[in-house]
Amino acid sequence: MIFKGGAVMNRSVTFLLSVFSVIMALSIVAPASAMDYIIGAKGGYYVWRPFLRDIPGSSFSTLESGTGALAGPIFGISFTNDITLSVSGLFGQQTAQWSTGNTYNEKEGKYESTTSYMQEQRYDIDTALSYQVIQGLRLFVGYKYQYLEVEWISSTRQAGDLTSMSVSDDEVEFKIPLQGISIGGSYVAPFSDLYFFSMTLSGIIMRGKFKYSSHEIRYRTFESTAIAGTPDSESDTFDMQQMGFNFEPAIGIRTGGPIITLGMRYQYLRSQFYNQEATSNDGPSDNWMNDHLYGVFMSVMFVL
């Protein structure tokens, strides 16, 4: 047992369509001469250190950080020099594979080794309505939607001697839809007519669900090749909240065509199962857990 205790993507599409509806409605009432449209893409290589490792009393403490490429589109509209509405996405897959090696389990009186694999699919959607307070400084507020789908597979082999071996395969799937708001600011400082430095800092608050299902199969092999399996399954859903910040410094260049930036991103979120009755050392509790996402990126944007 790990611990006690298609529709989402359709909602993402519906949300994006509603955002574009707002953009089109605002573009109708705004003066045509004041409009600038922005279209582009952003991509990079990121490391995810999952909060799952901090769930007390679970098998997830051995989880390694996942790595992989994340990318997505950027859309924006400037109604005036001071007011801008933008929508961006970051999608992709991050994976990790690791082994704990061959160790002796004194409690079981056996040698054991474990091989694990994790695959995370990430869907991040961010909107921001910003206002330029002074030249180069903008404040913004936005809606954030995040959906994580994580698959964890672990295979543990135990052997007391050369004639017998027991194997336990765990497969766990997590589905974590979260939504909330982000509030922050950005600053742009030119180095010259071509080069500039930018920095964005925002606070994030989200709430949603933590859904998991697990399937475990235990079987033993002896002198014959026959396998006797014993499946064990469980599933549950918990209320979850996250709060933290996102920091993105970057340098960029304004060419005759696109605007190109190179930068780094660090996102830190404190996660909590907030409707748990009491703090526990066995499975989900109201303990705070730490989630980190960091990496480097490049963006290319066109102003139309």
For 82-130, how does the pLDDT look when each residue is reduced to its tens digit (9 = 90+)?
A: 999 999 999 999 999 888 766 666 666 677 778 889 999 999 999 999 9
Domain 7-303 falls in which CATH fold? Lipocalin (2.40.128)
- Reduced to 3 states (helix: H, G, I; strand: E, B; else coil), residue 235 is strand
pLDDT score, position 196: 96
Q: How many CA atoms lie within 13 A of 252 on its CB side?
A: 23
Mean pLDDT of the chain: 82
Note the residue count of the chain: 304
Instruction: Return the DSSP state at 19.
Output: H
More confident residue, 165 or 173: 173
pLDDT score, position 295: 97
**Most distant CA pair in the chain: distance in Å?**
82
Nearest to 286 by CA among 266, 302, 271, 265: 271
Which residue has 């091989």 as its token pair?
A: 115
Structural domain boundaries in the chain: 7-303
For 34-63, how does the pLDDT look when each residue is reduced to its tens digit (9 = 90+)?
A: 578 999 999 999 999 999 988 876 677 888
Helices and strands: H and E segment counts in the chain: 1, 11
Q: pLDDT band at residue 14, thresholds of 50, 70 and 90?
A: very low
Instruction: Return the DSSP state at 10.
Output: H
Read off the pLDDT of each residue in 206-219 and give the average, rounded to a whole number: 84
pLDDT score, position 106: 67
pLDDT score, position 157: 76
More confident residue, 169 or 94: 94
Q: pLDDT band at residue 233, thresholds of 50, 70 and 90?
A: confident
- The answer to whether residue 171 scores a pLDDT higher than 70 is yes
Q: pLDDT band at residue 20, thresholds of 50, 70 and 90?
A: very low
- Reduced to 3 states (helix: H, G, I; strand: E, B; else coil), residue 34 is helix
Read off the pLDDT of each residue in 59-78 and give the average, rounded to a whole number: 91
Which residue has 């509209």 as its token pair?
A: 77
Determine whether 234 is exposed, middle or buried from the number of CB atoms within 10 Å of its CB (0-12, 13-18, 19+).
Answer: middle
d(CA 200, CA 202): 7
pTM, rounded to two decimals: 0.81
Q: pLDDT band at residue 9, thresholds of 50, 70 and 90?
A: very low
- The answer to whether residue 3 scores a pLDDT higher than 70 is no
Q: pLDDT band at residue 160, thresholds of 50, 70 and 90?
A: low
pLDDT score, position 302: 94
- The answer to whether residue 167 scores a pLDDT higher than 90 is no
Q: pLDDT band at residue 137, thresholds of 50, 70 and 90?
A: very high
Angle at 50 between CA 70 and CA 60, to 5 degrees: 135
Please check whether residue 110 is in contact with residue 138, taking contact to mean a CB–CB distance below 8 angstroms.
Answer: no
- The answer to whether residue 169 scores a pLDDT higher than 50 is yes
E-strand spans in the chain? 36-49, 66-78, 83-99, 103-105, 110-134, 137-161, 164-190, 195-221, 228-254, 259-272, 289-303
d(CA 58, CA 159): 23
